[in-house]
Structure 1
Amino acid sequence: MNTEAGAAVVVGADGSASSLAAIRAAAVDAVERGRPLRIVHAFIWAELSGPDGGIVYGPHDTRMRADAERILAASLVEAEKAAPGVHATTALVDGNPAPVLLGESRHAVLLVIGDRGLDGFRSLLLGSVALHLTTHAACPVLVVRGRDNATGPIVVGVDGSAGSASAVGFAIEQAARRKTGLTAVRAWDALDVWGQRDTMPLVSDPGDLEAEEHRVLSESLAGWGQRYPEVTIQQEIVRGRPAAVLIEQSQHAQLLVTGDRGRGGFAGLLLGSVTQAVLHHADCPVAVVRSSRATV
Structure 2
Amino acid sequence: MPVYSLDRPIVVGVDASESALHAVRWAAVDAALRGAALHLVFAVPADAESPLDESPVRLLHDRLRGTAQAALDAAAEIARKAAGDSEIRDIRTFLVDVPAVMVLAELAATAYYVVVGVRGMSAYHRSLLGSVSTGVARHAQGPVVVVPGETDGLSGRPVVAGVDGSPHSVRALEIAFDEASRRGVPLIAVQAWEVSGDSDTRSSDDAIQLLTRMLERNTRDYPGVEVKSVVKEGRPARVLLDAAAGAQLLVVGSHGTRGYPGMALGSTGHALLHGSECPIALVRLRN
- Per the normalisation by structure 2, the TM-score is 0.85
Matches within 5 A, 1:72-91: 72-84=72-84, 85-86=87-88, 87-91=90-94
Q: Name the structure 2 match of 1:163.
A: 168
Residue type of the partner of 1:20? L
- Indicate the residue corresponding to 2:204 in structure 1: 210
Question: What is the alpha-carbon distance in structure 1 between the residues aligned to residue 83 and residue 127 of structure 2?
Answer: 25
CA–CA distance in 1 between the matches of 2:255 and 2:174?
15
- The percent identity for this pair of structures is 37
The Cα of 1:267 is off from its aligned counterpart by 2.9
Larger helix share, 1 or 2: 2
Picking from 127, 140, 143, the partner of 2:143 is 140
Q: CA deviation at 1:248?
A: 1.0
The separation in 2 between residues aligned to 1:6 and 1:237, in whole angstroms, is 36
CA RMSD, 1 decimal: 2.8
Which whole-Å CA distance do the structure 1 matches of 2:229 and 2:263 have between them?
A: 23
**Inter-partner Cα distance in structure 2 for 1:100 and 1:285:** 21
Task: After superposition, give the CA deviation of every residue in 1:15-70 in whole Å (9 maximum; x if it has no partner).
Answer: 2111001000111111111111000000123459978xxx9953446322211111
Distance 2:242 2:234 in 1: 11
Once the two structures are superposed, residues 108-165 of structure 1 have per-residue CA deviations (whole angstroms, 9 ceiling, x without a partner) of 1111100227xxxx99964654343223323211111156332421100111121211
Count of residues in correspondence between the two structures: 272
Q: Provide the secondary structure at the position in 2 that maps to 1:39.
A: strand
1:125/1:279 contact within 8 Å kept: no
Alignment of 1:201 with 2:200, yes or no, is yes
In the TM superposition, residue 280 of structure 1 has moved relative to its aligned partner by 0.8
SS in 2 for 1:160: coil
> Normalising by structure 1, what TM-score?
0.83
Alignment match of 1:172 (pick from 170, 173, 177): 177
Q: Report the CA distance shift for 1:148/1:142 in structure 2 as closer, same or farther (over 3 A).
A: same
User: Greater Rg, structure 1 or structure 2?
Assistant: 1
Does the aligned pair in 2 maintain the 1:158–1:185 contact within 8 Å? yes
Rounded Cα–Cα distance in structure 2 between residues aligned with 1:19 and 1:141: 14
Q: Which of 94, 100, 103 is the aligned partner of 1:97?
A: 100
Cα distance in structure 1, aligned partners of 2:104 and 2:76: 18
- Please tell me the residue identity of whatever aligns with 1:16: S
- Whether the aligned pair in 1 keeps the contact of 2:46 and 2:61 (CA below 8 Å) is no
Correspondent of 1:183 among 185, 188, 212:
188
* Aligned pair partner of 2:262 in 267, 272, 278: 267
Segments of 5+ residues of structure 1 without an aligned counterpart are: 204-208
Determine the C-alpha separation between the residues in 2 that align with 1:292 and 1:64: 33
**Deviation at residue 220 of structure 1 after TM alignment:** 1.4
Question: Shift of the alpha carbon at 1:281?
Answer: 0.8
Match of 1:15 in 2: 16
Q: Look up the match of 2:119.
A: 116
C-alpha separation in 1, matches of 2:51 and 2:178: 53
1:39 equivalent in structure 2: 40
Separation in 2, partners of 1:276, 1:61: 34
Question: Residue 142 and residue 127 in structure 1: after superposition, are their counterparts in 2 closer, same or farther (change >3 A)?
Answer: closer
What is the distance in 2 between the residues matched to 1:249 and 1:147? 19
User: What letter matches 1:42 in structure 2?
Assistant: A
1:206 aligns to what? none
How far, CA to CA, are the matches of 1:276 and 1:234 in structure 2?
25
SS, match of residue 265 in structure 2: coil
Moved over 6 A (4+): 48-51
Q: Hey, what's the Cα distance between the residues in 2 that align with 1:4 and 1:230?
A: 21
Residue in structure 2 matched with residue 226 of structure 1 by the alignment: 220
